Each structure stands twice: as structure tokens, then as C-alpha cells.
Amino acid sequence: MTGKAMRLPIYQVDAFTDRVFAGNPAAVVPLESWLPDAQLLAIAAENNLAETAFFIRNGEGGGEEFELRWFTPAVEVDLCGHATLATAFVISTILEPGRERMDFATRQAGTLTVTRDGDRYTLDFPNRPAKPAERVDPNLLAALGGPAPAAVLSGRDYLVVYESADAVRALAPDMALLAKLDLFAVCVTAPGEGGVDFVSRLFAPAQGIPEDPVTGSTHCMLTPYWAERLGKTVLTARQVSARGGDLLCELAGDRVKIGGQAVLYLEGSILV
């Protein structure tokens, strides 16, 4: 290393859960100004979490007070729910305790608003409905294994629908084959049980995330699908990964509202 290292604060937050070691862990790094993209990606790769969120205060005096970006260990992504929740948690509980609303300018997903009511956060995200897939990558079903799905739709990700939650839990995909698919990720879903409207899992090995524990962004696609299928606009969801997580989803026109909790796991600093 040459020159003096820069010290940056870092927080690790478990999102979409009310306890540590569950939900989806995200790193949050506040910045004074943007670092080079290669350095942001290197930090995310070093953290080796599904997502690292970076944010700055918007110096242009616009309606969005913060600018927000998200990186997996491999790529920058267009939208991330759990790391947005984690960022809002850090701002409203540590940096500005008691703050109840945060508006984030993003590069590809427009303005995202997060509101806080006690220990619950609600994300206002774009509605991204999937459509029946006109073309399905021939490796998709072979990579997933398991029973034949009831339906295959596509948006940013494949949406593969199964008949039962047990079928979704039992999947053991071939990650090397999944990584060769032609869309960003694969979301599998089925009707829920025990008071849960639907369950899901999300695989994105090509993006450096074999299985994402809890995925806010894919609920922009899941919510309109299940709202139409079940005939209701407010739904309870559970992502049935090993860590697991719970979300409260609402279809609101061209927006999807995603609610959840978060808890701080780690607070420290990094040297770059």
C-alpha cells in the first residue's frame, strides 16, 4: 500500500428480520463523495456479502437527500431491497436517530423512498410485473431440477412457479448451470402456508450470489403476480432460504411497498 489509507465507517445489518443471524446481511458504507467504481466493487468483493450499499448526501439540493448504489461481490446492480432497508436503518437509528423518511436517488431505479414506523420500515419500489416467458433458456429446468413447474414467466429474472412450498424448499440447483442462463437471476415461488401467502427463493450465481437469503427487489415481480392470482393487494411473504426472512408486500398501482425489520450486527471501519 502506498500513501495514507482512507478510513471509512462500515455497518453490517441483517435485513428483513428482527434478530441477528437471520434475514439478509448487507454492508452499508457512508461516503463523503463517490470513490472510483473499481474501488467500490473491490470493497464489495472484500465484504463478500450479497450486497454492499454505498451512499452519499446529494449535494445538488434536489428532492432526494441521498444517492444510493449497490454492489454484489461481482457487479453493480440496478435495484436492491435488503441493502436499501439496511441503509435506511443505519441512517434512522445511528446517523440521524428518529428520522422517519429517507429519499434515495438511484441510477437505474428512480427515486426510492423508505419510511420508518417504530421498528418497521416500508420501501416504496417500482412495480415490475413478469410476463409469460416467450423464450425459456433450455438449461433452466435442468439447472433447477425438481418437479415440472406450473408456469415460467420472465422479467429482469425468471419467475418459476411451483405447486407447493415443499417443492421450492427441496430444490438443490446446479449453480454452475444456472450461472450460464440468459437472465439476471432465477426466482422460484409457490403458494405459502400457515398464514403466509407465498414463498420464494432467489438464485443469482452469475452475479456472485449463489442463493440470496432475502431479496427485496424480486418482490417487485412477485407481488403483482400473487396479487393477481390471489385477488388481494396486501400479502405476506416468506423467503425460505436457510436464513429465512419475512416481508409484508402491498401492490399500489405502479409501485410495490415492501415492509420489514432490520437489526445491527456489526459496526466498525475499513481502511482503503
Q: Pick one of 3.90.600.10, 2.60.260.20, 3.30.465.10, 3.10.310.10 as the CATH number of 7-126+259-271.
A: 3.10.310.10
Residue type, position 54, single letter: F
Residue of 32, 46, 51, 163 marked catalytic: 51
C-alpha cell at 199: 414463498
Burial readout 223-262 (b: 16 or more C-beta within 10 A, e: otherwise) = bbbbbeeeeeeebebbbbbebbbbbbbbbeeebbbbbbbb
Pairing of strands 262-271, 255-260: unpaired
Burial readout 57-89 (b: 16 or more C-beta within 10 A, e: otherwise) = ebeeeeebbbbbbbbbbebbbebbbbbbbbbbb
Domain boundaries, the chain: 7-126+259-271, 131-248
pTM, entire model = 0.91
C-alpha cell at 172: 438443490
**pLDDT at position 2, please?**
54
Tracing cell 417504530 back to the chain, one arrives at 118
Pairing of strands 198-204, 234-239: parallel
Q: Do the domains at 7-126+259-271 and 131-248 have one common CATH topology?
A: yes
Active site residue 163: no
CB-CB contact of 263 with 254 (8 Å): no
| Integer Cα distance of 170 and 239 in angstroms | 13
CB-CB contact of 122 with 100 (8 Å): no
Please identify every stretch of the chain with a pLDDT value under 50, giving residue numbers as ranges: 1
CB-CB contact of 216 with 84 (8 Å): yes
**pLDDT at position 1, please?**
47
**pLDDT at position 58, please?**
86
In the chain, what is the straight-line distance between the N-terminal and C-terminal CA atoms, in Å?
9
| Integer Cα distance of 261 and 218 in angstroms | 17
Q: Pick one of 3.10.20.30, 3.10.310.10, 1.10.3720.10, 3.40.920.10 as the CATH number of 131-248.
A: 3.10.310.10
**pLDDT at position 63, please?**
67
**pLDDT at position 61, please?**
57
| Integer Cα distance of 134 and 132 in angstroms | 6
| Integer Cα distance of 179 and 183 in angstroms | 9
Pairing of strands 262-271, 7-15: antiparallel
